[in-house]
Amino acid sequence: MKRISTVLFSLAVATGTPVVAQAADDNASRYNLVYSSSDFNSPAAVVALHDRIVKTAKSHCPSYFVSRSMADTRACVRDVVSDLIKVINNPMLSAYSSGNSVQEVTADAGVPDSRS
């Protein structure tokens, strides 16, 4: 079961202060990620946040040398990324993570493209 304080997230988005996304699975493993409302100001910021999520997942999951299975390592990273994106619950981040391009994310969110 995953948990996060949505009140903390709501306050942080309103005030612009950083938030720590924490998720704990059944075996009490934990991973942390700090983000703030500024991470959703532009498509480039969303891409950078997604990259930090992937980095967090890779640091949480066992490497190939520990697991001896690339499939297990990739599955772990994929699951942690998915969990953190669900916890953060931002439409632009979810769309980008689903494989949409930065341009599609920008158009869907109604954010002006900064590359003009």
Give Cα separations from 48 to 42, 51, 96 (angstroms).
10, 5, 11
Comparison of pLDDT for 92 and 10, the residue scoring more? 92
Residues 26-49, mean pLDDT to the nearest whole number: 81
Residues 14-26, mean pLDDT to the nearest whole number: 49
Q: Does 99 score more than 60 pLDDT?
A: yes
Q: Does 58 score more than 50 pLDDT?
A: yes
Q: Does 56 score more than 70 pLDDT?
A: yes
Residues 64-73, mean pLDDT to the nearest whole number: 81
Q: Does 12 score more than 70 pLDDT?
A: no
Give Cα separations from 90 to 12, 58, 96, 112 (angstroms).
14, 21, 10, 18
Sequence length of the chain is: 116
Residues 80-107, mean pLDDT to the nearest whole number: 86
Give Cα separations from 14 to 3, 8, 80 (angstroms).
21, 10, 26
The residue ranges of every structural domain in the chain are 6-109
Residue 111: its pLDDT value, please?
Answer: 59
Residue 86: its pLDDT value, please?
Answer: 92
Instruction: State CA 50 to chain mean position distance.
Output: 5
CB atoms within 10 A of CB 78: 13
Kindly state the tokens that stand for 106. Answer: 């920008």
